[in-house]
Structure 1
Amino acid sequence: MRTLLFATFTLLGLVGSALAEPLSTVSSVQVTVGPDLAKKAAEDYGVRDIERLVAELQADVQRELRRTGVLAGGRVELTLTDARPNRPTFKQLGDRPGLSYQSFGTGGLAIEGKAISIDGDITPIRYSWYEADIRDSRIGGTWADAEHGIDRFAFRLGRGKVYARR
């Protein structure tokens, strides 16, 4: 009797865990930098800072799509078209000796791209978020508003709410 009961619970556990796992995850999330932002990065912001934002955008989008199962088996191709820091970047501080890290302003970012479903349907994506109130910029780091925009974008994309308006 115990053997039969043990076998039944084991079988139910295997079936239950197979049903609980998503069928597929997003196959890829590719993030590139737009030409205007790449030029700004090389001349003004510093390439390392923009590469860090790209890595954060990719990781956050992958995490949210994996968590929600949106676009399962599909592909997301994004381009970071603009980013604006709240405080001077490391390169800016090095290039301009009189500049202070205590300086601050409003920041944000813009993202464009497309979501390609497993069926091949292409959905354009366009998102931008810039802080409007400078009082909120005082407490953050160099890329605080851009990072907040990335978090908002990933959360909304994972729930199917960030597509280009026609």
Structure 2
Amino acid sequence: MRHLVLTSLAILAAGTATAAPLSTVGSVEVTISPELQKKAADELGLKDVDRLAAELRRDVTRELERTGVLAGGRLELVLTDVRPNRPTFRQLGNQPSLSHESFGIGGATIDGQAVSVNGEVTPIHFRWYGSDIREAWTKSTWSDANYAFDRFAYRYGRGESYAAR
């Protein structure tokens, strides 16, 4: 009886392991450019920028797994610039004249490269910043940067952002 239960559990575990979907993305790596690192340390806050890099990685991985673009390849992204819509906590602490009600146009710039399974390297450049200050007053601190990440992930996942310059 014990042998039958152990065998059943082993078969069930093996079936579960083979039924799990394989990742369609080899890897998505997001780094922060040295200029943005300095800007984060001096002005924006390191936690905020690290959180944004993690969000970019999550968004891109989700879209690539959904669409299967770059299956088995590697995506190396560099977060080059980000601008908040509202002051970050670090900015509020550094500049007493700012208020959380202050607002501006935000966004992000992403550079990098896609490396396919066969080793072909494709450069990537994506930039999106808000264009209408009248919309900025309704947004949270990183709304435009998050929108830029979503837009990049969506477009890249559908093959629309390869080497866009």
Question: Normalising by structure 2, what TM-score?
Answer: 0.85
Identity level (%): 60
Other-structure match for 2:140: 141
Q: Secondary structure at the match of 2:138?
A: coil
Alignment of 1:1-166 (within 5 A): 25-165=24-164
3-state SS, counterpart of residue 85 of structure 2: coil
Distance 1:52 1:24, change over 3 A: closer
- When the two structures are aligned, how many residues end up with a matched partner? 149
Shift in Å, 1:97: 2.3
**Residue 23 (structure 1) shift:** 6.6
Instruction: Tell me the residue number matched to 1:3.
Output: none
Distance (whole Å) between structure 1 residues aligned to residue 37 and residue 23 of structure 2: 34
Once the two structures are superposed, what CA deviation does each residue of 1:56-112 show, in whole Å capped at 9, x if it has no partner?
Answer: 000000000000000000000000000011110010111222310000000111000
Per-residue deviation, 1:22:
7.1
Contact 1:22–1:69 under 8 Å retained in 2: no
CA contact (8 A) 1:107 1:131 kept: yes
Instruction: List runs of 5+ in structure 2 lacking aligned partners.
Output: 1-18
Pairwise CA RMSD:
1.8
| Structure 1 outlier segments of 4+, above 4 Å | 21-24
CA–CA distance in 2 between the matches of 1:134 and 1:77?
32
* Secondary structure of the corresponding residue to residue 30 of structure 1: strand
TM-score normalized by the length of structure 1: 0.85
Q: How far, CA to CA, are the matches of 1:111 and 1:95 in structure 2?
A: 27
Distance 2:160 2:97 in 1: 43
